[in-house]
Amino acid sequence: MTHPAKDPRIKYDPYWWEAAPRPDLPVPDLPAKAEVAVVGSGYAGLACALRLARAGRQVVVFDAEAAGWGASSRNQGQIGAVFKRSFKQMVDTYGREKTFAIYRDGQRAVAFVKDLIREEGIDCHLEANGRLVLAYTPEHYDTLGRELEVLRKEVGYEADMVPRAEQRNEIGTDFYYGAQLRHADASVHGALFHQGLLDRAVQAGATVAPHTPVTGIHRQDSGFVIETPRGRVAADEVVIATNGYTGSVTPDLRRRVLSMGAYIIATEPLPEETIRAINPNRRVCSDTRKLIYGIRVAPDQPRMIFGGRPAMTETDPKKTAPLLYEKMTQIFPQLDGVGITHAWTGFVAFTFRFLPSIGKRDGMHYVLGCSGTGVAAHTWLGDRIAGRILGANDTETAYDDIPFETRPFYNGNTWFLSAVVRWYRYKDRMAHRPAA
């Protein structure tokens, strides 16, 4: 029998593109001059363009591919602020007050994106059902509990601990050792959210130029010249919003981000009672492993969406689908045998600080390095950049003074990634004890 994750009928495009195919926008004539040129048409670029266009600025958004072709139409649609560094590591590095500010900004980003979707009336299956942070070890559960006491007091964190004895009320597995339930987190259909942002940016007057790679950016007078195979555009301001797809056109930024593939599978539609047993409250879930796995139910059909980083090096989703299947059925043995219909990949970017970075380098604004949770963070930060260009006074963030570092000899080629992934995998394997 064919392995369900090797079925020849599997589509290797995002499941989300079924409901929101990549938009077939006409490729516009490029203007000779724009006030703002935005490189990248994901959440960050479009949130920026939307605010600028509404304020009457002439904006051109470039994408090398179809609009939203990058991570913004490929992600799991989990809205939250899941930091890759632990609370303690952040306190050790930045001190308590700065760490609280970073957590507060995580919450601001989540609130911003939920408000934006509601105020704009974007039809993208926003479900405000909270997140389970699933403890991979008993020690992780204890740490989550201790941190929560501080975060509740200091930043008004809204969460509760779910002990292992009650875990089955929340999630149909004994694989984990309890969870932290974060009430503010939510989920969307990421590609429909992107489509909604795109529609509104275009309606507001932004020019979106798909299939128009930016091949050069040069200083000219007090502004810039953007080069593309379809012509040049002079711009007063430039915003780089290329995240995991940041390339050689911005070499100084490229050497500050670590691009890494993330992989997802979608199951066939499952019986409603299976979904109710697995995730009765339709929470988004992430676990506390070093190599995090993300779990959710699709909002439009009763399918399991399961994602993570199962491979050492970047590879084909054909190869990662069986690996993800194995991980999924390790957590949910009851899913063994269910079919897989879609498997896909996309790139995210990390910074060396494992926090998103926002700022200005060589005169260009940038929002880069989502470090995993850019649905909320990059939408919010894209809007902040627009605010900065407009001279608004609501644009500060906790990330502003965190250095956007690189490392000696690093040029954006993540040749060392397989060693890092191998090390994280080893640490995860050593940490976990099979549940009794």
Ligand X SMILES: Cc1cc2nc3c(=O)[nH]c(=O)nc-3n(C[C@H](O)[C@H](O)[C@H](O)COP(=O)(O)OP(=O)(O)OC[C@H]3O[C@@H](n4cnc5c(N)ncnc54)[C@H](O)[C@@H]3O)c2cc1C
Residues that bind ligand X (CB under 6 A): 39-45, 62-65, 69-72, 74-78, 213-214, 241-245, 247, 249, 262, 264, 294, 307, 346-348, 370, 373-376, 378
Between residues 44 and 335, which has the closer beta carbon with respect to ligand X? Answer: 44
Between residues 205 and 213, which has the closer beta carbon with respect to ligand X? Answer: 213
Asked if 185 contacts 79 with a C-beta cutoff of 8 angstroms, the reply is yes
Percent composition of the chain: helix, strand, coil (DSSP 3-state, to 5): 35, 25, 40
Between residues 253 and 398, which has the closer beta carbon with respect to ligand X? Answer: 253
Give strand pairing partners of 99: none
Between residues 91 and 260, which has the closer beta carbon with respect to ligand X? Answer: 260
The least distance separating ligand X from the CB of residue 430, rounded to whole angstroms, comes to 26
Residue nearest to ligand X (CB): 374
- Looking up tokens 């001059």 gives 33
Between residues 334 and 414, which has the closer beta carbon with respect to ligand X? Answer: 414
Instruction: Please tell me the distance from the alpha carbon of residue 238 to that of residue 219, in angstroms, as a whole number.
Output: 10
The least distance separating ligand X from the CB of residue 361, rounded to whole angstroms, comes to 16
Closest CA to 82 of 399, 427, 428, 372: 372
DSSP code, position 218: E
The least distance separating ligand X from the CB of residue 219, rounded to whole angstroms, comes to 17
Which are the contacts of 215, defined by CB distance < 8 A and separation ≥ 6? 227, 228, 229, 249
The least distance separating ligand X from the CB of residue 157, rounded to whole angstroms, comes to 18
Instruction: Please tell me the distance from the alpha carbon of residue 36 to that of residue 108, in angstroms, as a whole number.
Output: 26
The least distance separating ligand X from the CB of residue 186, rounded to whole angstroms, comes to 10
Q: Is 417 exposed, middle or buried (0-12, 13-18, 19+ CB in 10 A)?
A: middle
Between residues 282 and 431, which has the closer beta carbon with respect to ligand X? Answer: 282
Between residues 275 and 295, which has the closer beta carbon with respect to ligand X? Answer: 295
Closest CA to 214 of 179, 176, 253, 181: 253
The least distance separating ligand X from the CB of residue 293, rounded to whole angstroms, comes to 11
Instruction: Please tell me the distance from the alpha carbon of residue 46 to that of residue 304, in angstroms, as a whole number.
Output: 29
Give strand pairing partners of 134: 179, 287
The least distance separating ligand X from the CB of residue 226, rounded to whole angstroms, comes to 9
